[in-house]
Amino acid sequence: MLAYTFRRLLTIIPTLLIASILIFSFMHLMPGDPAAVMLGTNATPEQVEKLRVQLGLDRPIYVQFATWLQEAFRGDLGDSIFFQSPVLSVIQNRAETSIFVATFSMLIILILGIPIGVISAVKYNTLLDQLTMGFAMLAASIPTFWLGLNLMILFSVNLDWLPSSGFPSVLESGNLNNLKYLILPCITLAAPNSALIIRLTRSSMLDVMKEEYVKTARAKGLKESIVILKHIFRNAIISIVSALGFTFIALLSGTVVTETVFSLPGVGRLVVQSVLRRDYPVIQGIIFVVVILYVFINLLTDLSYAFLDPRISYE
C-alpha cells in the first residue's frame, strides 16, 4: 500500500506541470496585448505599459512561466485588477460559501443517490425502477439555473419559507441559522448530480449482480439482505467511489451557476464576475486552485479505491 501511495504521488508531478503550463498559457492565448485587453479601450499607453510591467509581460516567456510557477506554488497567484489585492485572499474571502454549498450538496447526493440507486437495481425492471430511472433522467435534463429560479419562486416568493438570495457568513457571525440560505442552492446543485450517481449506482449494482459469486452466495442460502449489502454493494461501491472525484468537479462547475442564481458570495460567482470584468489573474487563480483540489481529491479517491479493493495496489 505504501509503495502504491508513493507511485501514485509521483504521477501528480507531470499532471500538475501540464496543468500549470495550460493555465499559464491562458493569459497568453488572448488575441492582442493582454494588458491592453484587461484595461479596456479607455486606458492610456502609459497605463497599459505599467500593467505589462506589473504582470511581468515585458520579460521572456520562459522567465514569466518559471516566475509564475514558483510564485503560484508559494501561494502567490498575483493581484486582482478589480480588487487591487492578492488573488489568493480574494478567493479565500469567497471560499466559505462555495465549500458549504459543495459539501452539503455532496451529502445530499450521497444520502439520496446511493440508496435510491441500490433500491432501483434490487427492484430491477419493476415499475419502481422505471419510475426512478425516469425521474433521474428528468433531473439530469433540467438546467440548474432554471430549477433554481423555479424553487426560488415556489419556496421564497410564493410560500415565503426560505430566503431567496445572499448568504451572511456563518463563520464570522457564528449563527448556524444562516445555513437556511443554502438550502435551496444545495438542492438545486444536488438534483442533477444525484441523478448521475443514482444511474451509476444502479448500473454498477446490476454489473455485480451478474457475477458468479453472487449466484454462489444465494445458492448457499444467505439472506437476501446480506447478499445485497455484503456481496453486491460492497463490490459495486468501488466504481461509485471512483466517480466521486468527477462529481466533485461537477459540483464546483455547478456552483458557478447556482451561486449566480441565488446571489451567493462564492468562488463560482466570482468566476462569472471576473469574466465580465476581464479580471484575468482571478480567473487564472481560481482555475489553478480548483485543478489542484481536483488532483488531490482524485489521489484520495484512488487511495480509497486501493483500500476498498487491495488487489489494485499489487497491480
Partner 1 sequence: MRLSKSFFKKLFRRKITIIGAVILVIIISMALLSPLIAPYDPMKINPIDRLQKPNSTHWFGTDNFGRDIFSRIIYGARITVLSGFGVVIFSIVFGVILGSLSGYFDTLGMFIMRIIDVVMAFPPIMLALALVAILGQGLINVIVAVGAVYLTRTARITYGLTLKIRKDAFVEAAVAEGAGNGRVLFLHIIPNLISPIIVQATFTFAFALLQMAALDFLGVGIPPQIPSWGNMLSSSQDYITRAPWLLLFPGIFIVITVLSFNLFGDALRDRLDPKFKDEL
Interaction site with partner 1 (CB under 8 A)? 14-15, 18-19, 22, 26, 29-31, 125, 133, 137-138, 140-146, 149-150, 152-153, 157, 203, 206, 249-250, 252-254, 256-257, 260, 271-272, 275-276, 278, 280, 283, 286-287, 290-291, 294-295, 298
Residue linked to cell 419562486: 153
Least distance (Å) from partner 1 to the CB of residue 246?
9
Return the number of the residue (88 or 205) whose C-beta is nearest partner 1: 205
Interatomic CA distance for residues 285 and 291, integer angstroms: 10
Least distance (Å) from partner 1 to the CB of residue 130?
9
Residue linked to cell 467511489: 241
Interatomic CA distance for residues 34 and 308, integer angstroms: 48
Least distance (Å) from partner 1 to the CB of residue 298?
8
Least distance (Å) from partner 1 to the CB of residue 287?
6
Least distance (Å) from partner 1 to the CB of residue 58?
21
Contact 91, 289 (CB under 8 A): yes
Return the number of the residue (95 or 222) whose C-beta is nearest partner 1: 95
Note every long-range contact of 305-309, with CB atoms under 8 Å and residues 24 or more positions apart, other chains counting.
305/238, 305/241, 305/242, 306/1, 306/4, 307/1, 308/237, 308/238, 308/241, 309/238
| Amino acid in position 256 | V
Interatomic CA distance for residues 195 and 201, integer angstroms: 10
Interatomic CA distance for residues 160 and 44, integer angstroms: 51
Contact 91, 217 (CB under 8 A): no
Least distance (Å) from partner 1 to the CB of residue 144?
7
| Amino acid in position 202 | R
Cα radius of gyration (the chain): 24
- Reduce the DSSP state of residue 174 to 3 states and report it: coil
Q: Is 183 exposed, middle or buried (0-12, 13-18, 19+ CB in 10 A)?
A: middle
Least distance (Å) from partner 1 to the CB of residue 249?
5
Return the number of the residue (100 or 280) whose C-beta is nearest partner 1: 280
Return the number of the residue (154 or 179) whose C-beta is nearest partner 1: 154
Return the number of the residue (201 or 260) whose C-beta is nearest partner 1: 260
SS (H, E, C) 269-305: HHHHHHHHHCCHHHHHHHHHHHHHHHHHHHHHHHHHH
Return the number of the residue (55 or 178) whose C-beta is nearest partner 1: 55
Return the number of the residue (15 or 47) whose C-beta is nearest partner 1: 15
Interatomic CA distance for residues 113 and 30, integer angstroms: 41
Least distance (Å) from partner 1 to the CB of residue 220?
25
